[in-house]
């Protein structure tokens, strides 16, 4: 089932065409990687899906609904979740408290009192932490966790918003190779079991070719290839322009 449709997006900054004719879809449960050299337009495309940028032309549809001009907050409520390149947790708070905060901010009936609201969301927070294999760290301050574990807490925070689509901007940046594989295996299994579509940008080709169902290659704002990891790896234009072999 098609979850996200990106149709003919264009965006220029002054004279620079950061994105042109960008068209693709993401299905529920699918992991789509966007790759390309620095300046290729990955972040621009990402930000047009997340709502941080408005395209000059083209459309973004979520579940068939036009969200091209919706604010990031509105997209979040419609089911567009996001993680960031640098983990965004409150380090002095425990893993559970971080997820509880996310649950409170997603829950509009909150009465404004922090402690009772936090306690109401404790069980759900621990359940979300268990989905990312971090329930045992529920009461550990994030400052005492390894970076890879903080990234898993961040994934639980993103899941608190019950996303249909998860945007992950270089999710494994700053992580050791083994931690990378763990995080992406986890992301893939959550995406598949819960039908969440994942759009991610990534520099590590092992992560891309090991975890993406499909890969989109951007060069100077345009899609030069798309397909399964094998198809993309064999593409002559991709080899010449990007993979360098
Ligand atoms: P990537 O994420 O693939 O490295 P970007 O989407 O950040 O690429 O950038 C694509 C092109 O658009 C680059 O040439 C970049 O300099 C330009 N660009 C991106 N954002 C802006 C901006 N806010 N203002 C001006 N130029 C920008
Ligand atoms: Mg970028």
Q: Give the global pTM.
A: 0.91
| Domain ranges in the chain with CATH number 3.40.50.300 | 1-79+163-245
pLDDT in tens, 168-184: 988 898 888 888 999 99
Contact 19 CB / ligand 1 (< 6 Å): no
CA-proximal residue: ligand 1, atom 26 (nearest): 13
Contact 92 CB / ligand 1 (< 6 Å): no
- The share of the chain scoring above pLDDT 90, in percent, equals 72
pLDDT in tens, 163-222: 999 999 888 988 888 889 999 999 999 999 999 999 999 888 889 999 999 999 999 999
pLDDT at residue number 108: 60
Contact 16 CB / ligand 1 (< 6 Å): yes
CA distances from 187 to 5, 49, 158, 165 (A): 21, 19, 11, 12
Rounded to whole angstroms, the Cα distance separating 73 from 32 reads 23
Question: pLDDT band at residue 237, thresholds of 50, 70 and 90?
Answer: confident
pLDDT at residue number 137: 96
- The ligand that comes nearest to the alpha carbon of residue 218 is 1
pLDDT at residue number 242: 72
Residue to substitute in 9, 17, 37, 41 for testing ligand 1 pocket (most ligand atoms within 8 angstroms of CB): 41
CA-proximal residue: ligand 1, atom 6 (nearest): 41
Quick check: 36 pLDDT over 80?
A: yes
Question: pLDDT band at residue 9, thresholds of 50, 70 and 90?
Answer: very high
Contact 203 CB / ligand 1 (< 6 Å): no
Contact 217 CB / ligand 1 (< 6 Å): no
CA-proximal residue: ligand 1, atom 24 (nearest): 13
Question: How many angstroms is it from 220 CA to the middle of ligand 1?
Answer: 10
Contact 40 CB / ligand 1 (< 6 Å): yes
Quick check: 245 pLDDT over 60?
A: no
Contact 42 CB / ligand 1 (< 6 Å): yes
Question: How many angstroms is it from 173 CA to the middle of ligand 1?
Answer: 19
pLDDT at residue number 213: 94
Question: How many angstroms is it from 11 CA to the middle of ligand 1?
Answer: 10
CA-proximal residue: ligand 1, atom 13 (nearest): 39
pLDDT in tens, 38-63: 999 999 999 999 999 999 999 999 99
Q: Tell me what the pLDDT averaged over the chain comes to.
A: 91
pLDDT at residue number 169: 84
pLDDT at residue number 185: 92
Q: Which CATH superfamily is domain 1-79+163-245 in?
A: P-loop containing nucleotide triphosphate hydrolases (3.40.50.300)
């Amino acid at each position: 089932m098609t979850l996200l449709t990106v149709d003919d997006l264009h965006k220029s900054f002054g004279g620079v065409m950061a994105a042109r004719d960008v068209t693709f879809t993401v299905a529920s449960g699918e992991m789509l990687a966007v790759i390309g050299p620095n300046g290729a337009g990955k972040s621009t495309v990402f930000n047009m899906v997340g709502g941080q940028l408005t395209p000059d032309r083209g459309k973004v549809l979520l579940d068939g609904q036009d969200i091209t001009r919706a604010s990031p907050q509105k997209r979040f409520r419609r089911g567009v979740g996001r993680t960031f390149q640098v983990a965004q947790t409150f380090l002095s708070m425990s893993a559970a408290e971080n997820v509880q905060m996310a649950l409170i901010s997603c829950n509009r009936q909150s009465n404004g009192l922090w402690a009772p609201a936090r306690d109401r969301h404790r069980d759900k927070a621990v359940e979300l932490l268990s989905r990312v294999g971090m329930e045992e760290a529920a009461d550990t301050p994030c400052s005492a966790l390894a970076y890879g574990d903080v990234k898993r807490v961040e994934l639980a925070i993103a899941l608190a918003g019950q996303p249909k689509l998860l945007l992950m901007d270089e999710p494994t940046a700053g992580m050791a190779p083994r931690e990378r594989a763990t995080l992406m295996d986890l992301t893939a299994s959550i995406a598949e079991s819960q039908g969440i579509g994942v759009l991610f940008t990534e520099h590590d080709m092992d992560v891309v070719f090991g975890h993406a169902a499909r890969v989109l290659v951007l060069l100077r704002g345009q899609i030069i290839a798309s397909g399964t990891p094998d198809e993309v790896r064999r593409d002559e234009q991709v080899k010449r322009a990007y993979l360098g072999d």
